[in-house]
Amino acid sequence: MTPVRPAVDTDEPAGGSGGLIIFLNGTSSSGKSSIAAELLRILDEPSFHIPVDAFHAMRTGREIPADRLPAVLHDTWRGYHRAIAGMAAAGNQVVMDHVLSAEWRLRDCLDLFVPQDVVFVGVHCPRAELERRERERGDRPPGLAARQLAQVHAHGLYDIECDTSRADPRRCAARIKDFLADRPTPTAFQRLRTKQNPAI
């Protein structure tokens, strides 16, 4: 399947969009945003941290009827994926901060993103530590991260993985930066797309 690529005003170099997506995937409270903040501090190229939570925060503050909420959330996630794809297609370096707690979200990203332009980062954290962080921060429903755990990493493939219970955000970001200097191929996204559609 050919990735859906937003139109841009400039010619793209062969083999990719010219942009880069550093895709941080992990449960709520796993430490993605803290890693992203450190990445923006140390990356050599101008970069944008674009978390999915920012898109939810931009939505109208009016209460959405319960029967409409699932569709509104679904459209928000789809729009988020397309915004990330558009930024990368325009040649930008993006730090994407997401929770793949529904299988369709990964499929959508696999269809949209140029696979060689994605560094897929698994952000892990043990359940007990996630629950402690939830209690400490107080702005997440209790048990949210635990409910997400089973699906978030179910696909099983990453380019690089971090455990935020063992390494602080600065060390995780430094490892990711070092990885960028010599990225192996095929990338995790290339392998996942082949797994999803062996005919590619």
Q: Which residues are annotated as a binding site?
A: 26-33
- Distance (Å, whole) CA 92 – CA 177: 16
> Measuring CA to CA, which residue among 102, 160, 165, 124 is closest to residue 26?
124
- Distance (Å, whole) CA 178 – CA 173: 9
Residues placed in the known binding site for ATP = 26-33
| Contact yes or no for 81/109 (Cβ under 8 A) | yes
Burial class (CB within 10 angstroms; exposed 0-12, middle 13-18, buried 19+) of 61 = exposed
- Distance (Å, whole) CA 55 – CA 77: 8
Token look-up 């993605």 returns 32
List helix spans (H) across 67-187. Answer: 69-89, 103-112, 127-137, 144-152, 169-180
Residue-level length of the chain:
200
> Measuring CA to CA, which residue among 36, 37, 41 is closest to residue 25?
36
67 counts as catalytic: no
Question: What amino acid is encoded at 138 in this protein?
Answer: G
Catalytic residue, from 11, 53, 97, 159: name it: 53
**Residues acting as catalytic residues:** 53
